[in-house]
Amino acid sequence: MNFLPDALFSNIIWIALHTVHSRFAISHGLACRYPADVAPFAAVAQSSRAAFDDLATLLASHSDSVWLFDTSLPAHSALKVVDTLPCLRMITSGPPLPLATRDDILPLTADDAPDMVALTSIAFPGFFRPRTVEMGSYFGIRDRAGRLISMCGERIALTGHAEASGLCTHPDHRGHGYGEALLWQVLRQQRDAGVASFFHVGMTNTRAQALYRRMGFVTVAETMLPRVALG
Q: Number of C-alpha atoms within 13 angstroms, CB side, residue 187? A: 25
Angle at Cα 22 formed by Cα 184 and Cα 117, nearest 5°?
50
- Does the CA dihedral 55-60-61-63 come out positive or negative? negative
Domains of the chain plus CATH, in order, are 6-86 (3.40.630.30), 89-222 (3.40.630.30)
The 3-state secondary structure of 77-146 reads: CCEEEEEEEEEEEEEECCCCCCCCCCCCCEEECHHHHHHHHHHHHHHCCCCCCCCHHHHCCEEEEECCCC
pLDDT tens digits in sequence order for the chain, 231 residues long: 455 667 778 899 999 999 999 999 999 999 999 999 999 999 999 989 999 999 999 998 888 999 999 888 877 778 999 999 999 999 986 666 776 678 999 999 999 999 999 999 998 899 999 999 999 999 999 999 999 999 999 999 999 999 999 999 999 999 999 999 999 999 999 998 999 999 999 999 998 999 899 888 999 999 999 999 998
